[in-house]
Structure 1
Amino acid sequence: MDNILHEFKDAWRRPNNALPQIIIINVVVFLVLAVLNVFGKIFGISFISDFVYDQFSIPPLFADFILRPWTLLTYAFAHSLSSIFHILFNMLILYWFGKLIVEYIGNQKLINLYVLGAISGGLLYLFVYNFVPYYAENSNFHGMVGASAAVYAITVAAATLVPNYTFYLMFFGPVRIKYIAGFYIVISFLGSVGGNAGGNIAHLGGAFMGFVYIKQLQSGTDWGAWIGSVMRFFKSFFVHQPKMKVSSQKRAKTTTVKSQPSSSMANNMADQAEIDKILDKISQSGYESLSKEEKQKLFNASKN
């Protein structure tokens, strides 16, 4: 048990590790809500667990939503407690397609897509249930939870970025991810008038954002740049800034001879620092973000 907790802590603390961190948040939220639900029913205090669950569930009507506006984002980190398969399938798809996003465009872009996909899915869901008569007449349900809209944004983004990338599926063999994403979109569209109409509407909103985000990124505009700025702002409150100490003591007038590093050693240190910067850039933005010179330097270093 200690080893499992250590692995979770290590994955959470490791820098540039957005995909496992998002999955950990989803799993922890699911377990907390599930445990509260169990104890609530056993001890007859379900109103407490229901209240907590409401803070993650986005209601269909604006009148209810304006009382809990944070649910526009929190709903994407909670899942149905009636079936383990809801979170299981979402996390599996997130892992498969999220790895491609991290590999090609970096960790921050994955976070951007997750947040923007959740927001766009939630907004479309709110729009149809308040302005489209068919859905307004069927808005008498409690609310919606699930990471599906965010996951769809990542799935479609990956398919837009590298449409011919191939997954090997059981019983089907090699399948290009553009067809997998297309299949998901068709299924959600057909289900937009079914029992999970709200969820499927949110899927479509997330999918649309995933496509637009990549197209805008390819044209030089990052719609999610503000998300990184907000994250850095909040992190600044938790990062300790060491204080600079000023000493007024006089230095002794003793003459010391300092050994100077050889020129070759200095060059090696400079080269290693440059390689480290290149590796950090790959981790953050993907290999394709490197310039030709940086790729050549990395290739030369690999031969040493």
Structure 2
Amino acid sequence: MDNLLDDFKNAWRRPNNALPQIIIINVVIFLVLAVLNIFGKIAGVEFISNFVYDQFSIPPAFADFIQRPWTLITYAFAHSLNSIFHILFNMLVLYWFGKLIVEYLGNQKLINLYVLGALAGGIIYLLVYNLIPYYIDRSNFPGMVGASAAVYAITLAAATLLPNYTFYLMFLGPVKIKYIAGFYILISFLGTVGGNAGGNIAHLGGAFIGYVYIKQLQSGTDWGLWIGGVMSFFKSLFTKQAPIKVSHKRAKTENRSATTSKTTSSTGHNIANQAEIDAILDKISQSGYESLSKEEKQKLFNASNKS
């Protein structure tokens, strides 16, 4: 058990490791919520596990959302407890396409895309369920969870950046990722009036921001710079600052001043003989070092020591 925990800690602490860290966060949250759900049902206190789960679930009605606005981001780190395939599929796609983003753009860009995708998916979801009558009439469900919007952002970003990159799929063989991304978008669009309409709408919002992010990045604008700034701020709150040590070393200061004066006084000598040194260097370039006289070699040696 200790070895397993050590492996887990090492995987988490490894530098430039954003992709595994995001996956670990999702898996840990899923396991914690699942365990709470099981014990809540067994102990007859299911309301506790439901309350915790609600803190990760973004409700469709804006009146409910303003009571827990943090769900605009937390929903993207939780998954349905009814089927393990929800988190399994999301993490697999995140891994496949996330590796491309990390390889070509770096870890911070992956984090930027994940966060922006989650925000875009959540905002589109809220707008649709609060502005369009068809969806308002169908907003009587607890809420939405899942990393899909963030994963779609990463998927479309990779397909926009590297449209002809090829994945080898079982039973299909080599397929360019632009076609895989297009298939995902089509499936989500067709599902916007189905049982998981909210989730599919969020998918499209995430996909859109992934495409726009790469296009803006290619034009020189990084829409995710603020995310890195926010992360740095919170990291600084938990990082101990090394105390500034002030030491007074008068003797060394005096020696340094003397050395500086000595160097300054010798600078004039170097400048005065610069033409002669240049001539020696030209002679070396034409005839080699061995062509110098003993006097010329000594002058070059002295000049190099003074510089």
TM-score, structure 1 length as denominator?
A: 0.81
1:189 maps to what in 2? 189
2:126 aligns with 126
Q: Secondary structure at the match of 2:154?
A: helix
Aligned position for 2:295: none
Distance 2:161 2:18 in 1: 19
Aligned-pair distance for 1:248? 4.1
Is 1:135 the equivalent of 2:145?
Answer: no
CA distance in 1, matches of 2:250, 2:209: 63
Tell me how far apart the structure 1 counterparts of residues 174 and 228 of structure 2 sit (CA, whole Å). 36
Give 2:121's aligned amino acid: G
The structural deviation recorded for 1:13 is: 1.0
Which residue of the partner structure matches residue 199 of structure 2? Answer: 199
Q: How many Å apart are 1:247 and its aligned residue?
A: 3.4
Amino acid corresponding to residue 17 of structure 1 in structure 2: N
Count of residue pairs the alignment pairs up:
253
Counterpart-to-counterpart distance in 1, 2:19 and 2:138: 36
* Structure 1 position 244, deviation (Å): 2.2
Q: Could you say which residue in structure 2 is the equivalent of 1:57?
A: 57
Q: Determine the C-alpha separation between the residues in 1 that align with 2:132 and 2:93.
A: 30
1:40-81 CA deviation, whole Å, 9 max, x = no partner?
A: 000000111000000000000000000000000000000000
Give, in whole Å, the separation in 2 of the partners of 1:221 and 1:213.
Answer: 9
Find the aligned partners of 1:213 and 1:247 in 2 and give their Cα distance.
49
Measure how far apart 1:246 and its partner are: 2.5
**Distance in structure 2 (CA, Å) of the matches to 1:183 and 1:211:** 15
Please tell me the residue identity of whatever aligns with 2:219: S
Runs of 4+ in 1 over 3 A off after TM superposition: 247-252
Question: What residue number does 2:230 align with?
Answer: 230
**Superimposed CA distance per residue, residues 248-278 of structure 1 (whole angstroms, 9 cap, x where no aligned partner):** 47769xx9xxxxxxxxxxxxxxxxxxxxxxx
Q: Secondary structure at the match of 1:122?
A: helix
Code of the residue aligned with 1:133 in structure 2: it is: P
Q: Give the secondary structure class of the aligned counterpart of 1:4.
A: helix
1:3 aligned residue: 3
TM-score w.r.t. the length of structure 2 is 0.81
What's the CA shift for 1:231?
Answer: 0.2
Cα offset for 1:11?
Answer: 1.5
Give the whole-Å Cα distance in 2 for the aligned partners of 1:210 and 1:4.
Answer: 35
Distance 1:104 1:245 in 2: 41
SS of the residue corresponding to residue 235 of structure 1 reads helix
- RMSD value over aligned CA atoms? 1.3
Higher relative contact order (CA 8 A, sep 6+): 1
For 1:106, the equivalent position in structure 2 comes to 106
The answer for unaligned runs of 5 or more in structure 1 is 256-304
Structure 2 gaps, min length 5: 256-307
